[in-house]
């Protein structure tokens, strides 16, 4: 049992940081919220309706970036973003190039991702957050492999997303310097099971 009697509500404009020691269920909780796992008991709701009946709605409104970058090494940065966007919301080439520029990858649009550093691969994945996309972002350790400048930029971008009415749920061992007005923390290590 990772956790029980867990109840929380999230609204537009909020950020929930899920923290706790390794093995406390952070990634499992995010996977449950993203619809990638089913709870063994209880229910997850989206807009007051059971999530199980709203898979298409969740997919349209969600960006999930897991602990791994989730990109294909043989594809270029541009091809990876085009492929990921095509699953739900195709993006024009100019928007993809702007997103890559926003994460510091101008000039790397046509470079196969297997030749990029771990930090650059993470930036390719995070470039999805700079496209006109879904309001719900679920991010598992998004700061992994990023340098200080990229961390500061991502923190600012997450706060701006919340200020525009977006919703962010993330796990990180990183201490956030920039927190939106609707910031909350759930420490799974502090829960009594």
pLDDT, one tens digit per residue, over 26-51 is 999 999 999 999 888 888 888 888 88
Find all residues with CB under 8 Å of 142, minimum gap 6, and list them.
Answer: 65, 122, 126, 154, 170, 172
In this prediction, residues 124-138 reach a mean pLDDT of 94
Share of the chain above pLDDT 90, in %: 68
**Is 81 within 8 Å of 128 (Cβ atoms)?**
yes
So what's the pLDDT on residue 31? 93
* Residue closest to 47 by CA, chosen among 12, 7, 17: 12
* pTM (predicted TM-score): 0.92
pLDDT of 149 over the 60 cut? yes
> What pLDDT is recorded for position 193?
38
Q: CA Rg, the chain, in Å? A: 17
Q: How confident is the model at residue 192 (pLDDT cuts 50, 70, 90)?
A: very low
- Cβ neighbours around 185 below 10 Å, total: 12
Those residues with Cβ within 8 angstroms of residue 121's Cβ, 6 or more apart along the chain or in another chain = 69, 71, 113, 145
CA gap 133, 130 in Å, rounded: 8
Find out whether 65 and 139 touch, Cβ atoms under 8 Å: yes
Tokens 């298409």: give the residue. Answer: 56
Distance between CA atoms of residues 33 and 30, nearest Å: 5
Residues in CB range of 65: below 8 A, 6 or more apart:
125, 126, 128, 129, 137, 138, 139, 140, 142
Domains of the chain: 14-190 (3.40.50.300)
- Count of CB atoms within 10 A of residue 37's CB? 14
């Amino acid at each position: 049992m990772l956790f029980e009697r867990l109840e929380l509500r999230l609204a537009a404009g909020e950020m929930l940081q899920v923290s706790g020691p390794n093995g406390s269920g952070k990634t499992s909780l995010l996977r449950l919220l993203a619809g990638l796992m089913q709870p063994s008991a209880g229910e997850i709701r989206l807009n007051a309706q059971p999530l199980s009946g709203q898979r298409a709605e969740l997919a349209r409104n969600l960006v999930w970036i897991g602990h791994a970058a989730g990109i294909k090494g043989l594809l270029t940065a541009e091809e990876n973003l085009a492929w990921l966007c095509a699953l739900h919301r195709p993006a024009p080439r100019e928007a993809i190039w702007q997103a890559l520029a926003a994460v510091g990858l101008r000039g790397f649009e046509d470079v196969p991702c297997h030749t990029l550093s771990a930090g650059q691969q993470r930036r390719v994945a995070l470039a999805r957050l700079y496209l006109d996309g879904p309001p719900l972002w679920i991010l598992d350790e998004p700061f992994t492999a990023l340098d200080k400048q990229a961390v500061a930029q991502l923190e600012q971008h997450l706060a701006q997303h919340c200020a525009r009415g977006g919703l962010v749920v993330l796990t990180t061992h990183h201490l956030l310097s920039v927190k939106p007005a609707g910031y909350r923390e759930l420490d799974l290590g502090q829960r009594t099971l």
